[in-house]
Amino acid sequence: MQPDEALRLGLEQAARHREGCVIIGVPREIFPGERRVALVPGAVPVLTKAGFEVVIEAGAGREAGFPDAVYAGKGARILQDREAVFSSAGILVQVLCYGSNDRTGKADVPLFQRDQLLIGFLRPFGSLDVIKEIAEAGVSSFSVELMPRTTRAQSMDALSSMGTVCGYKAVLAAADMLPKLFPMLTTAAGTITPARVLVIGAGVAGLQAIATARRLGAVVSAYDLRPAAKEQVQSLGGRFVELPIEAANAEDARGYARPQDDAFYLRQRELLGKVVAEQDVVITAAVIPGKKSPVLLTREMVYAMAPGSVVVDLAAERGGNCELTRPGETFVDHDVTIAGLINLASSVPYHASQMYARNLSAFLVHLLKDGKLRIDPADEIVRETILTHGGDIVNARVRKFFGLPDLDSQ
């Protein structure tokens, strides 16, 4: 039997319980402060119609605004303890699985069932030891971070969904911390000039930050090393900052910015310095998958900003784009507020959960054909997202990232 065929059969035999019905289990999120839930009540009828059964841990959706009674009314079964969810489900769906949840996620490992499917944020380019631990537990895991950015997979793109939420919330947080109003106002006391906002990194989060800041009335500029971002920034009413420096191979095949050498970042910081000094708010959202976030704002650049200015660093979880950022902390240095905000999507749990549930539901329905799991490694969506199976790490990108040999060569 060929390796791909063995993989397909192994995955299709997983998650079969109760006379062939595929049961999806939704445990409560246990990362400290996490308020989202993997599936919302509105997703249950979609999944049951497709042929799944859904079981929910009691209280899993409460903090997101979804009581148990609403889930039950939509056809889900409520189970009172976490162990029951893990033991009864063939497919587990979470927001922050072990991997992304590096604080309390390890407690779930003894609850995994061999041949279970695990779907959620797994931080595939994080800790190799953790990914190996997940593999050795015998689960077949699918990392939503690895979803291909293609038209077919667009409805399943959880990274973009959560990036949208983060970009929106970053602007609201900045507006709350800034001792100025965002919009231009004509009042009896004269005219209030609008705030000036610079967004560095025009990915999904950055573009949403631009749109939100514009809606609040700010004058918005944006910078991205990818030339293709210019049109997107301008379409949202932002001014694109062009620097006399060109990045080499600025964009990869997935649309992400490629890391550059130290000389490029040094020159970039020199040129951005004058632009940053003129801003009331700087929002940084330059993230490179699997890499430490590049430092784009130095200490000197921050100190050159006017008193009361605000820096919101959306790359804080991966080291930060600002040299001064402390992940998870907000503090003032030289009269500039620096916010290293993390897990922002959890601060809007109702709609963040709703968006994430739609992404997961689309993926789950994609895996089910005629009431049975049809998981084909030849399918790009399956091939790109599967992380572990059969006790091993099977994702080619992840193996290459960690320097592991190709599976075909073993």
pLDDT tens digits, one per residue of 210-254: 999 999 999 999 999 888 899 999 999 999 999 888 777 777 766
My answer on whether 318 and 297 are in the same domain is yes
- Report helix angle 158-177 to 349-367, nearest 10: 170
Catalytic residue among 87, 88, 155, 160: 160
My answer on whether 116 and 248 are in the same domain is no
Give the DSSP letter of residue 396.
H
Residue 403 CB neighbour total at 10 angstroms: 7
Give the Cα separation of 365 and 22 in Å (integer).
Answer: 11
Average pLDDT of span 120-139: 97
**Domains held by the chain: number:** 2
Within the chain, what is the greatest distance between any pair of CA atoms? 81
My answer on whether 400 and 277 are in the same domain is no
> Phi first, then psi: what are they for 377, rounded to 5°?
-60, -15
By residue range, what is the domain housing residue 117?
3-146+349-409
Confidence of residue 374 (pLDDT cuts 50, 70, 90): confident
My answer on whether 211 and 307 are in the same domain is yes
Q: Which two tokens stand for residue 310?
A: 């605000």
Q: How many residues are given for the chain?
A: 410
Lowest-confidence region among 66-70, 121-125, 195-199, 286-290: 286-290
Average pLDDT of span 6-10: 52
Buried b (16+ CB within 10 A) or exposed e, 231-258: ebbeebebebbeeeeebeebbeeeebbe
My answer on whether 254 and 278 are in the same domain is yes
Q: Give the model confidence (pLDDT) of 243-298 as tens digits.
A: 888 777 777 766 677 778 888 888 899 999 999 999 999 999 998 877 889 999 99
Average pLDDT of span 338-354: 97
Q: Does any domain span residue 233?
A: yes
Q: Does any domain span residue 272?
A: yes
pLDDT at site 11: 57
Residue that finishes a domain, picked among 342, 367, 384: 342
Residue that finishes a domain, picked among 342, 361, 389: 342
State CA 209 to chain mean position distance: 15
Rounded (10°) CA dihedral 225, 348, 153, 288: 30
pLDDT at site 7: 57
My answer on whether 51 and 127 are in the same domain is yes
Percentage, residues of the chain above pLDDT 90: 82
The better pLDDT of the pair 67, 249 is held by: 67
Confidence of residue 17 (pLDDT cuts 50, 70, 90): very low
Q: Any catalytic annotation for residue 149? A: yes
Give the Cα separation of 238 and 244 in Å (integer).
Answer: 19
Percentage, residues of the chain above pLDDT 70: 94
Residues 310/174, Cβ–Cβ less than 8 Å: yes
Q: Does any domain span residue 264?
A: yes
Q: Does any domain span residue 153?
A: no
My answer on whether 134 and 177 are in the same domain is no
Cα-trace Rg, the chain: 23
Q: Which segments of 217-323 are extended strands (E)?
A: 219-223, 239-240, 281-284, 310-313
Confidence of residue 12 (pLDDT cuts 50, 70, 90): low
My answer on whether 219 and 358 are in the same domain is no
Residues 287/298, Cβ–Cβ less than 8 Å: no
Catalytic residue among 157, 224, 280, 313: 157
Asked if pLDDT for residue 15 goes beyond 60, the answer is no
Q: What is the CATH number of the domain that holds 317?
A: 3.40.50.720
pLDDT at site 5: 56
Catalytic residue among 16, 62, 77, 149: 149
Q: Any catalytic annotation for residue 409? A: no
Residue 261 CB neighbour total at 10 angstroms: 9
Confidence of residue 9 (pLDDT cuts 50, 70, 90): very low
My answer on whether 129 and 241 are in the same domain is no
Q: Report the chain's mean pLDDT, rounded to a whole number.
A: 93
220: left (phi over 0), alpha (psi -120 to 50) or beta: beta
* CA dihedral (237, 167, 294, 197) positive or negative: positive
pTM summary value: 0.93
Q: Does any domain span residue 158?
A: no
Confidence of residue 87 (pLDDT cuts 50, 70, 90): very high
Which residue do the tokens 């539901």 mark?
361
My answer on whether 211 and 247 are in the same domain is yes
Q: Does any domain span residue 193?
A: yes
Average pLDDT of span 165-178: 98
Q: Residue 337 carries which side chain, given as an amino acid letter?
A: T
My answer on whether 190 and 323 are in the same domain is yes
Q: Does any domain span residue 285?
A: yes
Point out which residues pair with 219 in neighbouring strands.
Answer: 196
Average pLDDT of span 132-157: 97
Q: Residue 366 carries which side chain, given as an amino acid letter?
A: H
Q: Any catalytic annotation for residue 256? A: yes
My answer on whether 167 and 300 are in the same domain is yes
Strand 117-121 vs strand 372-373: parallel, antiparallel, or unpaired? unpaired
Which residue do the tokens 């953790």 mark?
130
Q: Any catalytic annotation for residue 152? A: no
Q: Any catalytic annotation for residue 115? A: no
Q: Does any domain span residue 152?
A: no
Asked if pLDDT for residue 370 goes beyond 90, the answer is no
Residue that finishes a domain, picked among 307, 342, 377: 342
Catalytic residue among 13, 127, 154, 235: 154
Catalytic residue among 214, 215, 256, 399: 256
The better pLDDT of the pair 395, 290 is held by: 395
pLDDT at site 1: 36
